[in-house]
């Protein structure tokens, strides 16, 4: 396992060691001791989630507020997605900036997003199965979001806007400007 910190402090791209032969492949997708040692964190995941989506489905940008904030370790089991984290930590030198990582079933990359970030992804392949671990339980009342096409963040989603498929909820999220004074992430 190799860990690469991104320009957003606390966000890491995880490069797993894959052992492949004529039978297929094997890799250790999570080892708490290695993960904590290489990232300098002490993360305990308590919930696993999985979704299946088709090309153009954009889910995000979501976060949990307050005591229900979540760190996530995300990966793709099938297909390809562009995974995005947006820094929402007040006072951070990278506040409002994003990191995008292409996660595929072939590259076996994982992306760690700590608390204090909005998260979203778009499916680039015909279909994708997306899997992630959370370090806190989901709480509906603590749900928050930022509109996917926020002009100050300016995310390149790599798919033409006419081909996007979004939920009603994601189409009606506020802008970062509208919520920035309500964010209490550190």
Residues belonging to the active site: 62, 132
Task: Round to whole Å and give the CA distance between 175 and 116.
Answer: 16
Give which of 61, 166, 172, 169 is closest to 117, Cα–Cα: 61
CA 112 vs CA 8, 59, 124, 182, 183: distances in Å: 11, 17, 20, 24, 21
């Amino acid at each position: 396992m190799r860990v690469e910190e991104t320009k957003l402090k606390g966000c890491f791209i995880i490069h797993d060691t894959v052992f492949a032969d004529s039978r297929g492949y094997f890799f250790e997708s999570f080892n708490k001791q290695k993960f904590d040692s290489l990232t300098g964190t002490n993360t305990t995941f308590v919930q696993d989630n999985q979704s299946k989506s088709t090309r153009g489905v954009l889910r995000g940008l979501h976060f949990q507020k307050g005591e229900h904030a979540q760190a996530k370790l995300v990966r793709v089991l099938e297909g390809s997605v562009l995974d995005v984290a947006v820094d929402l930590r007040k006072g951070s030198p990278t506040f409002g900036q994003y990191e995008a990582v292409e996660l595929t079933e072939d590259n076996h990359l994982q992306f760690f997003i700590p608390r204090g970030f909005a998260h979203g992804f778009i499916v680039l392949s015909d279909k994708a199965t997306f899997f992630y671990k959370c370090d806190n339980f989901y709480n509906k009342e603590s749900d928050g979001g930022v509109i996917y096409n926020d002009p100050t963040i300016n995310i390149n989603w790599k798919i033409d806007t006419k081909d996007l498929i979004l939920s009603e909820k994601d189409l009606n999220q506020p802008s970062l400007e509208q919520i920035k004074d309500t964010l209490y992430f550190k």
